[in-house]
Structure 1
Amino acid sequence: MTTTRSALHRRTSFAPTGPLTPLSQAVIALLCLTGIAHAQDATLGTVTVDERSAPRQADVTGFGDLPLNQVPVSATVIDSRQMQDRGARRLADLTQFDASVSDAYNAAGYIDYLTVRGFVLDNRFNYRREGLPINAETSIPLDNKERVEILRGTSGIQAGTSAPGGLVNYVVKRPTETDLREVRMEVSGRGGVLGAIDLGGRFGENRAFGYRLNVVSEDLKPRAFDLDGHRELFSLATDWRLTRDTVIEAEIEYSKKTQPSQNGFSLLGNTLPAPVDPRINLNNQAWSQPSVFEGLTGTLRFTQAIDDNWRWSAQVGQQRLKTDDRLAYAFGCSAEGNYDRYCSDGTFDFYDFRSDNERRVQTAGSLNLKGKVMTGGVQHDLGIGLMESRVRNRFQDQAYNYVGTGNVAGTAIVPADPTLTTPTTNRDERSTELSLQDAIRWSERFTTWLGVRHTRLDRDSIGTDGSQPTSYAQGITTPWLAASYALQPGLMAYASWGEGVESQVVPNNIGYANAGQGLPALVSRQREVGLKGSKGSLNWQAALFAITQPVTNIDTCGNPVEPCTAGFDGQAKRRGLELNGDWTHGPWRLAGGMTFIDAKRVGSADTAINGQRATNVPRDVLRAQVAYRVAAVPGLEMQTQVSYEGRRNVLPDGSVTLPAWTRFDAALRYDTRLNGVATRWTLGVENLFDRRYWKESPYQYGHVYLFPGAPRTIRLAVTATL
C-alpha cells in the first residue's frame, strides 16, 4: 500500500525524550519572565487589513516580515478561504493550487506525500508547523489552519535537513479582532457528513485576551469501496497582550482519523493496464482493519518588541503522534519472479501488514532576533536564530506475512495472519541549528541577500530486537546568496544560489543488506533566476531553476532474493521553468500556473537509467482557476478548475510511460443572508466528466504503483456566520 509498508520501512517517529535540553529550558524561562516587558516603550501594534488586497507574506521563506513579492524566493500561500471553497481535507488536495506541486504516493485514507519541483518531500524533515519542525507521517487536518505555505526549491537556510524540492509550513488560525461565530455543514461522497464550528474573539480589560476555537467531526463516506471512516479535531489558540509591546501566544490541537486505506495498483507483467474503476479497493478483506492516526500538538510563543526596529521571540513546541498502520497489502508477483509489479494475469501476492502503536514525539525550541540597522548609509534587515530539536522513534515488532494470492478485480478471499514476525528500528536524533540572515539594501532598487545555517546532527538507531545498533554525528553548513533589483515599481528581477542537506534511512526490508541504517547527509545545490511583477490586481512570477541532488539506490534495489547494500548512486538533476499569476478584474478572478521540468538521472551504476527521465515526474503541468460573479444574481459566483499533467516515466529505464491527463472541477458559490445571518452555499463537483485515468505512478523502494484519479464526487456545503 505505501512506500513504507512496501519496504517494511519504519518511518522516523518520536517519543518522549526525557529532560528538556538547556535551550528548551531557556526558552521556557524566557516565556515565564514576561515581567521585564512592562518597561518597554515600543509598540507591536495591531493592524487590520483586507486580505484580498494586502501583499501576501510567507514565514516559510525565512523573511516572513517582508511581502512575498519582494523576496527572491518562490513560494505559494494557500489560505483558509481557498481551502474551504475547494473542500480541501488533506495536504494532497492542495496540489490543485500550484503547478510545481504534484502527488507522490497519495493513497486515499493514508498520509500525504508531495513532489515539488520534481523531488519528493521527506515527511520526516520537510514540514513545519508555526515555523517549528514536525513529523508529517500522519494525517494533518486543515480545518484549523489559517494558511499553508509551500516553499519551492532548496531550503538550506530555512531547515537543518530537508529534501531539495521545498518546504511546507502550516500556520494555525489565531484569535480574531472582532467576534467570529461560524458554523459549517457539508455532505459529500456517498453521504459523508461534516460538522464544524469556528469561534474567535477578544475579551478582558482592553481586550487583552484572545481566543480561537475550532471543533470538527466528520463521518467519511467516499465513493471508493471499503473506505468509510471517521475523523475529529479540537483546537484552541489563545493570546495575551501583556502590554502594547509584549504578546504571549499558546495553541494546542488534538486530531484523530480512523479510516482504511486504498491499495495501489501496478503494472501487469510488462503491460500498463487500462485505468481501473477508481472505486475498487483491494484492501477489502473481512479482517482488514482501519489505520488510526492520532496527534496532539502545541506551541507556546513569546514576542517582545525592543524598539521600533528590533524584536525578539522565543518559542517551544511539541508533537505527539500515535499510529496504527494496517493493510491487506498487495505487493509483487513471486510466481513470475517480479517483486516490483503484479503478475501478467492480474494476480499478486497478498500480505497481512500490521504495525500498531507507533509512537512519534518531537520537541523543538527556538530563539529569534530580528531587526533593522544602518551602517554607512546601508540598511540591513537582520535575522539571527537558534533552534534545537529532539526526536525519538519507538515501535513494536510488526506483521508482514504472506497470506495468499489476490487479484485486481478485488474478488479474492485470503486468511489473516497477524503474527508479529518482523523487527523494526527505533531511532533517536538531536539537532542544533544556528542561522543568520541579512538583506542588505544598497539603494532603493538593489538588495543583496545573505543566509547561512549551521546544523549539528547526532543520530542513533537500533532494531527492536536489539540488532544493528548504529550511531553517527555530523556538522553541516548550508549557505544561500541572492541579489534582487527593482527594474521599475512593481517589477523585480532576482538571482539566487543555495545549498540544502537531506538525510535518508535505509528501509527495514530484507532486500537491503544494511536495512534500517541511516546514511550520511546529502548536499544538494540550486540556482534560480526570476522576475516578479505586481500592478494593481495583477501579480505574476517567472522563475528558471536548476537543482542537483546526490541520490541513493534505495528506490531501485531491494530485491528480497539478492539483497543489495543501499548507498549513493549518482545524481538527480532538475531544470525547469515556472510561470504563475493571478488577476482580478470586475466580476472575473483568474489564477494559475505552468511548470516545465526536465528531470534526469546521471552517474548511476545502472547505465540503463542514466539520461532517463525520473519516474513519476510529469514533463509539464498546468493549473488554472477561473471564477465569475453573476451580476444578474447578486452573491452568485461560478468557479472552474482545470488540472493537466503531462507524460511521466513509470519505470526508471523509460520503457513504460504514463499518459498525460486532464481533469475539470466546477463549483457554484452563493453568498446571501437568511434571517439576517450571512450564509454561504457551495455546490462542488470534482472530476466533472467522471474521467478515468492513472493519476500518478510512484516507483519507490523497488516497486511500481499506479493510483487512479478519484471518481466524480459531489459535495454540498453551507457556512453560516452568526
Structure 2
Amino acid sequence: MKTQITLAALLPALASLAPLHAHAASSSTTEDEMVVTGNTAADTTDSAAGAGFKTNDIDVGPLGTKSWVDTPYSSTTVTKEMIENQQAQSVSEMLKYSPSTQMQARGGMDVGRPQSRGMQGSVVANSRLDGLNVVSTTAFPVEMLERMDVLNSLTGALYGPASPAGQFNFVAKRPTEETLRKVTLGYQSRSAFTGHADLGGHFDDEKRFGYRVNLLDQEGEGNVDDSTLRRKLVSVALDWNIQPGTQLQLDASHYEFIQKGYAGSFSYGPNVKLPSAPNPKDKNLALSTAGNDLTTDTISTRLIHYFNDDWSMNAGVGWQQADRAMRSVSSKILNSQGDISRSMKDSTAAGRFRVLSNTAGLNGHIDTGSIGHDLSLSTTGYVWSLYSAKGTGSSYSWGTTNMYNPDGMEEQGDGKIRTGGPRYRSSVNTQQSITLGDTVTFTPQWSAMFYLSQSWLQTKNYDKHGNETSQVDEDGLSPNVALMYKITPNTMAYVSYADSLEQGGTAPTDDSVKNAGQTLDPYRSKQYEVGLKSDVAGMNLGAALFRLERPFAYLDTDNVYKEQGNQVNNGLELTASGNVWQGLNIYSGVTFLDPKLKDTASSATQDKQVVGVPKVQANLLAEYSLPSMPQWVYSANVHYTGKRAANDTNTSYASSYTTWDLGTRYSTKVSNVPTTFRVVVNNVFDKHYWASIFPSGTDGDNGSPSAFIGSGREVRASVTFDF
C-alpha cells in the first residue's frame, strides 16, 4: 500500500516553524548561552556565485574521505548547492555537468543506468547510497542528497566486481550543527507545483541526538500538454552521538514518482538511418495514461567509531525495495523520413528489485621508520533479488504515422499502469568482497597505493513455480596500483593500473547453442591511466589520459557462446572548477573519447564506434555576480554532445547538439527571514535532440538500437525561506 504525501500533510510541519523561529529570535545573549538564529550565513553562502563548485575532498569507499588532490582517480562531485541553485530534479539532470557521464535511458531518463567513459553501467554494482549498493534503474530523489561523487574509473579493487562504468556514490543529507528550517516553494511549466521542507538540528541541548528531515510534494501537469508529474518524498536521517568519536546513524526514505503522457522509446532496425529528433512536447507522440509509476523504499544504518586520531572503523547495512510499473508507447522508426509504427505492451521487465547490502571497514595509519602507511581492511557486498511478472500483459497498436506530424492516440485499455500480474522471484545475485589496501608515503613527494580485493559471486535463477533452474558460483581477484608524485604541495601527478572482475555473460537458452544457459567465467576489465590534479588559486584543475578494455561474449561459428570480443575506449578528460576572477566561477570539463568495438560478432562492426557514445562531450556551468552586488547571481550552462554512432556498422549517426540553460537568483530578507528567489530556463532555444541512444547488445551484433528524446524548453522558478 502506497503512502500518500500531499501539500496538506506538509502544512503542520511548516506551521511548526514559526514558533521555533520566534523562540530563537527571543533568546537572550549571555556568556553561557548560545543564540540559535538559523543558518542565515550558511544560506547566503549556499546561494553565492559558484557555491559548491570546488571540491576539497571525496568519499572513496574503503579509503575513507580523502583530499581531492591526493586521490589518484579522476572524479567529479555535484553538490547540494548546485542541485538547489540549478533546480535539478533527477540523476540524469545532475550527470550533464560531468563531461564523462551519461544516462543510458533504457526505460526512460528516470529509469536508466548512469555510466562513465562510454561503458554500460549495471543495475546495482555501480550505484551506492552512503557506500551501500542501491538500484540505479528507478527514480531517485535528489532533494535528499548532500552530494553525488563520481569516480570515473575501474573500481573493482575498492568496491568489488562491477562494470567499468565508474562508481556513483550518493551521499545523503545529515543532521546540521545549527537548527535548519528551510522551506522551498516551486513552479515549473506547464503547471507543476512543488513544496519542499528541509529541517535539521538536534533534539537535545547536548546535541547527542540529531535529525534531518526532507519532505517533498510535487504535483501537476508536466512539460507536455495533458501529462502528469507527481513526486512525493519523506526522508529521515538520525544521528546518535553515543560518546565522543562514536556515532550511530539511521536513515529511511520513501519516494513515489509518477510520470505519464511523455514520449516513450524509439527503436529502429540496423539498416534504418536515425532521423533527427521530433518535438518532445508534441502530445500526440505520447499517451496521457501511459508512463512510469515507481516507488522506492530505503532503510540503512551505520556505526562509525574512532579509536584515536589514527584508527577508525565503520560498519553499515542497507535495504532497498524498488517497485516499478511501466507502460509506455514504443515507436518503431520505419525510414529516415520519420514514419513510425506505434504499439504498447504492459511491461514484462522486472517489476520489483530488492537489495540487501553491507559494508564494514577498518582504517588506520602506522609508520615504519620514515615510511608512512595508510592501511585499509574492508568488506562490501549485496544480495540483489529480481521479481518478475507471471503474466504477459496486454498489447495494443495504433498503426503507422509520421513522428513529425503524428496522429493522436486513443486509450485502448483501462488506462492503468500495471506490472503484468503477480510477481515471482526470478533470480538472486550475490556478491561479497574483501579488500586489503595500503597507501605508502615514501617522501613528501613520492607515494604509492596498492589495493587488492577477493570477490565471490553467485547467481541463482528460478521459474514461475519457485523451482531453482540454475546456479553459478564464481570468484576472483581484482588489483589496483598507483604511483603518485607531488610536484608541489597542491599539485599531484599519478599513473595507475586497475584490473577488475565483472560477472560473466550467460549463453542463450536456444537448443541450437551447445552451451545453452551456461554462465561464463567472470569478465576481466582493465584500465591504464595517467593523470594530473591541482588545487591552485581557488580552482580544481584535472587532466586524465586513460585506456579502458572490457570484454564481451557472443556465439561463434560452432554455436558456442564464449568470450571473444572487446570494447576499447581511449580518452582524455580535462576539468576546471572554481573561482576564475572576482565574481566569475565555472564548473567545466571536456572529454575526448575514441570508443571502439574489437573482434565483434559481425565482421561489419569490427573497429566501429560504440553506439550512443560521443567522441566529444563538454559542459560549462558559469555563474557571475557583481562584486558590489553578490546577492544577485547570473548563471548559464552550455552542454555539448558530439555526434554519436546510431548503429553498430556506423552507417548512421545522431547529429551533435548544444543546449543552453540560463538562470538568475537573488538573496534578500523578507520580514527578516533570509529568502532566495531562483529562476532557470532549461534548453532556452528549445533544441530537439536524442538524449540517449543505446545498442541492443555490447557485442556488435548489429541489432536494433533504441533512442529517447531530450526534454524541450522548460521554466522553473522557486523561492526558499530559511527560517
With the length of structure 1 as denominator, give the TM-score of the two structures: 0.85
Is the CA contact (8 Å cut-off) linking 1:353 and 1:398 kept in structure 2?
no
Contact kept? 2:302, 2:314, Cα under 8 Å: yes
SS at match of 2:143: coil
**Aligned-partner Cα distance in 1 for 2:491–2:244:** 36
Q: Deviations over 1:658-700 (max 9, x none)?
A: 1111111110111111111111111100111122233332223
SS in 2 for 1:158: helix
Shift in Å, 1:135: 1.8
Match in the other structure for 1:582? 577
Distance 2:123 2:195 in 1: 29
The one-letter code matched in structure 2 to 1:293 is L
Residue pair 2:157, 2:479 contacting (<8 A) in 1 also: yes
Kindly provide the amino acid, as one letter, of the partner of residue 646 in structure 1.
G
1:663 aligns with 2:659: yes
Q: Distance in 2 between matches of 1:98 and 1:419?
A: 34
Q: Secondary structure at the match of 2:684?
A: coil
C-alpha distance 311-348 of structure 1, shift in aligned 2 (>3 A): same
Name the structure 1 match of 2:678.
682
- Residue 273 of structure 1 corresponds to 275
- SS of the residue 1:710 aligns to: coil
CA distance in 2, matches of 1:294, 1:668: 33
Look up the match of 1:645: 641
d(CA) in 2 for partners of 1:292, 1:638: 36
CA contact (8 A) 1:60 1:150 kept: no
Per the TM alignment, residue 552 of structure 1 is displaced from its structure 2 partner at its CA by 3.4
The 5 Å alignment of 1:102-181 reads 102-105=102-105, 110-181=110-181
Contact 1:314 1:368 in 2 (8 A): yes
Gaps of 5+ in 1: 1-47, 333-340, 558-563
Q: In structure 2, what residue type is equivalent to 1:358?
A: G
Equivalents in 1 of 2:511, 2:231: separation in Å? Answer: 36
Alignment of structure 1 residues 551-562 onto 2, 5 Å: 551-553=552-554
C-alpha separation in 1, matches of 2:66 and 2:548: 26
Are 2:308 and 1:307 equivalent residues in the alignment? Answer: yes
Q: Write the mapping of 1:612-623 to structure 2, written as runs, cut at 5 A.
A: 612-623=608-619
Residue identity (%):
23
Aligned to 1:487: 487
Could you report, residue by residue, the CA deviation over 1:519-563 in whole angstroms, capped at 9, with x for unpaired residues?
Answer: 542110000001111113022001000011002359xx9xxxxxx
2:142 alignment partner, SS class: coil
2:340 match? 347
1:711, distance to aligned residue in structure 2 (A) = 1.1
The question of 1:234 aligning with 2:234 is answered yes
**Rounded Cα–Cα distance in structure 1 between residues aligned with 2:351 and 2:710:** 30
Asked if structure 2 preserves the Cα contact closer than 8 Å seen for 1:613 and 1:654, the reply is: yes
The one-letter code sitting in structure 2 at the alignment partner of 1:278 is P
Give runs of aligned pairs for residues 14-413 of structure 1, distance below 5 A.
Answer: 56-60=56-60, 62-105=62-105, 110-260=110-260, 262-267=263-268, 270-280=272-282, 284-285=286-287, 288-331=289-332, 346-348=339-341, 350-355=343-348, 358-399=351-392, 402-404=395-397, 405-407=399-401, 408=403, 409-413=406-410
Q: Give, as a single letter, the amino acid of the residue that structure 2 aligns with 1:699.
A: P
Q: Matched residue of 1:187: which SS?
A: strand
User: Which whole-Å CA distance do the structure 2 matches of 1:676 and 1:515 have between them?
Assistant: 71
> In the superposition, relative to structure 1, how do residues 412 and 316 fare at CA in structure 2: closer, same or farther (>3 Å)?
closer
What SS class does the counterpart of residue 92 from structure 2 fall into?
helix
Aligned to 2:11: none
Q: Is the 8 A contact 1:505 1:516 kept in 2?
A: no
Find the aligned partners of 1:167 and 1:413 in 2 and give their Cα distance. Answer: 42
Distance 1:565 1:352, change over 3 A: farther
The answer (yes or no) to whether the contact 1:679–1:720 under 8 Å persists in 2 is: yes
SS in structure 2 of the partner of residue 608 of structure 1? helix
Matched, 1:571 2:566: yes
Displacement of 1:314 in angstroms is 1.8
Q: Which runs of 5+ in 2 are unaligned?
A: 1-40, 46-50, 698-702
Secondary structure of the corresponding residue to residue 481 of structure 2? strand
Matched positions, count: 659
Alpha-carbon shift at residue 708 of structure 1 (Å)? 2.6
* Letter of the 2:530 counterpart: V
Partner deviation per Cα, 1:322-345 (whole Å, 9 max, x = no partner): 22222233357xxxxxxxx66977
Decide whether aligned partners of structure 1 residues 656 and 529 sit closer, same or farther in structure 2, where only a CA change above 3 A counts. Answer: same
**Equivalent AA in structure 1 for residue 309 of structure 2:** D
1:113-160 deviation per Cα after TM superposition (whole angstroms, max 9, x unaligned): 223101121122211111011222211111111111111021112322
Separation in 2, partners of 1:423, 1:233: 25
Q: Matched residues in 1 for 2:93 and 2:517: separation?
A: 31
Task: Measure the CA separation in 2 of the matches of 1:668 and 1:292.
Answer: 33
1:96 CA displacement: 2.2
Deviation at 1:229, TM superposition (A): 2.7
| Corresponding letter in the other structure for 2:408 | T
**Aligned partner of residue 93 in structure 2, secondary structure:** helix
1:600 aligns with 2:596: yes
Asked whether the equivalents of residues 61 and 73 of structure 1 are also in contact (C-alpha less than 8 Å), the reply is no
Q: Is the 8 A contact 2:78 2:147 kept in 1?
A: yes
CA contact (8 A) 2:108 2:708 kept: no
Q: Distance in 1 between matches of 2:336 and 2:421?
A: 26
Shift of 1:715: 0.8
Amino acid at match of 1:574: N
**Letter in structure 2 aligned against 1:652:** D
Partner of 1:42: none
Report what 1:31 is aligned to.
Answer: none
